Structure 1
C-alpha cells in the first residue's frame, strides 16, 4: 500500500478522531492543519518527513506564517506541532509509519529575530474601571463584566445556564461550553472535561443577578446570555462585536480572550495564590498558569521580599 502524503493522512486521521473527540476539537485540529501545516508539508509523503524538514517549516512559520505574512507566535507554532505530533503518533500505532519524526523536534521558544514572545495584552485595574463605566449601556455589558470578574473562556460564558448560577452562595458552576462547528452552535464539556466552581464578587454577582431577573420566565437550562430567540449566542459573532466595540474606546485594544488574562493578572498582582488563580481559570496543571503568567511573578517576588523585610523591622 502506498504511503499517504501528510494531507491525505490528516484527512483520514481527522475523520477517525470524530469518534473519540469533541467535534469542536476536531474542527480546531483541521483549522490548524489547513492554516499552518498543509501549505508547507501537505504534499510530503509521511515517510519523507524528517526532523530537519519539520523544524525548517516551524522556522518559516515564525518568520512569516501569520496573517499577511506577519510572524507567527511561538505558542501557535507549538499548537500546530501538537496536532502534527498527535497525528503521527497514530500513524505509528496503526503501522503506517515506523517512527514519529515529530517526537524528536525541538520547538522554538523565541521568534527568529531573537525577541522573546510578546507579553500578554491586558488592562490594569484603572483601565478595567474605565471600561466598566464606558460599557455600562452596551447590550452586552453584563457579559463583559462577568468575563472580567470570573476569567471564564468565551465558550464557557456563552454556555452558562440559569441553573449554573447560585446567587445566594455567590458562585457559579462551569459545566458546559458553547462551540461553533461548521456554522452550527453545539454544547460540549468545558475544555478540560471537568466542571469547576467559581466564587463571585458583589459586582459580578450583581450583573448576573440582573441578567437572571430580566429573563425570569426562562427555564433552568436556558442560557444566561441568550440571543433574541432565547438561544445560545454564537461565539464568533460575540468576538466580532467585541473587536468592533473595543476600537471605539479610549483604551488599548485587547481581544475578548484577554479579559480572561486581565482577570488572572490582576489577581496574581494582588497577591492571590497561584493555585487559587489556576483553579478559577480551570487549568489542569498549575505549571500552565505559571507559564502563561510568568511576567507577573517578578513583581510578586519583589512584593514578598518587601513584606518579609517589614516583618523583620516590625513595621
Structure 2
C-alpha cells in the first residue's frame, strides 16, 4: 500500500470489522521527521472514514499529537490523579476518601491497560476491559462499583480530550454499568413511634449506667486523675440517633455537630460541616448542604438535658464544655469516629426496634413520613440539604407515587360527594 500523502488518509482492513486509519501530515519543519497519526477502529468502514475525517479536522484546527505515545498509566496517574490530589490538598475537593478510591480503581485498571497507549483505547477496548475486571474475581463487582470505574475512566478521557491527546472520548460510546436498585427500608408510622419510646428508655438507662459506674468508683475510693468517663459515649450515641431521627441528617453531619450548632431558643440545628471517615471536619459539597433545620420541642428538651449533664461529666476530666465541644462525644470528650459509631449501630439497632435498618435509613424514614403527611417536597428537600428538588423526587419517588394514588382517590371522593348541574 502506498504511503499516505500529506493531509490524505488511508484506511486498511486488519480483519473483519477492524480497520487501521492513518493520516500523514508531512515533514516537521523543526525535527525534520515525517508526522503521522494512526488509529485502530472497530466497526464498519464508514466508522473508519469518520475517524479519518476527525483526524484531518483536528490537524487543520492546529491540535497537537505530541502525546500520541503516552500510556494510559502515565496520563491517568501522572496527570489526572495528580491534579485531583493537588486539588484535594489545596481546596479539600475532592475529598481524601474519594481520591484514595480513585487511586485504588486506577491501580486495578492499570493491571490491564496501564501500558496501552492512550490513543489506542477505543470503546471496543473499554467494553472488553469491563469484561476482564470480573474474570479474575471470585465475586463479581457490583453494578455500583463498576459505575465508579466508569466514572474514573470517563474523567481520565475527558481531560485527555481537553489536552488534545485523543480525538474523542471513547466512554461516550460505552454504556454505563447499571446499578442495582437497593431497596430503601423505612420505619412505618407505628414503628417510628416505638423507636421514639425506646430512645427514651435507652437514654435513661445510659444515664443510669454512668451513675452506677461513678458510684462504684466512689465506693472504691478512687481519687486518681482521670482520662475518661465511662458511659458518656453511650448517651452520646443515643443522642445521635435521636438527632438523625428528628432531622434526617447524615451520619457524618450528626457526628460533626457542636453546641454552637444547637439553637435552643429557636429550636433549630445548624448543619455546616461533616465528619469524614478520616476524622476530619469538612464543609458540605454545596451551599444547600449548609442549612438550619427546625426540630421538635421534645428533641430540644433532650438536648438541653444532655448539654447540662455532659458539662458535669467533662468537668470530671478537667475539660470545660464550650461552643466547640462535640454534641456526640466520646468518653474522653472528643468526636466519635464514623466507623466506631457504625459498629455500635449494627450491634444495638435491634434493641431499638430497627431490625437491620441502616443508620442512613433513618433519613429515609423521616423523609417518607413527611411526604406522606403532606409536607411539600421543596420543604423536605431543604431539610435534607438537596441542592435540587429533582434529587428528592428521584430518591423518594416511591413515597410520591403512594401520595399520587391517594390524590387520585381523594379527587374521586370529592367529585362523588358533589352534585354538578350541567348548563346547556
* Aligned 8 A contact 1:150 1:263 in 2: yes
Describe the SS at the equivalent of 2:302.
helix
2:303 is matched with which residue? 208
2:242 corresponds to 1:145: yes
Tell me by how many angstroms 1:255 deviates.
Answer: 1.5
Q: TM-score, normalised by structure 2?
A: 0.63
Describe the SS at the equivalent of 1:172.
strand
2:255 corresponds to 1:158: yes
Within a 5 Å distance, the mapping from 1:45-60 to structure 2 comes to: 45=116, 46-55=118-127
* Aligned 8 A contact 2:112 2:129 in 1: no
2:157 corresponds to 1:88: yes
Higher relative contact order (CA 8 A, sep 6+): 1
Within a 5 Å distance, the mapping from 1:35-184 to structure 2 comes to: 38-39=107-108, 42-44=111-113, 45=116, 46-55=118-127, 69=139, 72=142, 74-109=143-178, 111=180, 117-135=181-199, 136-137=202-203, 139=234, 140-181=237-278
Tell me by how many angstroms 1:210 deviates.
Answer: 2.7
1:28 is matched with which residue? 98
Counterparts in 2 of 1:196 and 1:236: CA distance versus 1, 3 Å: same
Describe the SS at the equivalent of 2:415.
helix
* Aligned 8 A contact 1:92 1:99 in 2: yes
1:278 to 356, 378, 381: 381
* Aligned 8 A contact 1:153 1:257 in 2: yes
Tell me by how many angstroms 1:276 deviates.
Answer: 1.1
Q: Which has the larger radius of gyration?
A: 2
Give the total of aligned pairs. Answer: 303
Distance 1:195 1:81 in 2: 30
1:15 is matched with which residue? 82
Distance 1:64 1:301 in 2: 45
* Aligned 8 A contact 1:159 1:178 in 2: yes
RMSD: 3.1
1:306 is matched with which residue? 409
Tell me by how many angstroms 1:80 deviates.
Answer: 4.1
For residues 264-283 of structure 1, the C-alpha deviation after alignment (integer angstroms, 9 at most, x for no partner) is: 12212222111111111111
Counterparts in 2 of 1:37 and 1:64: CA distance versus 1, 3 Å: farther
1:187 to 281, 290, 293: 281
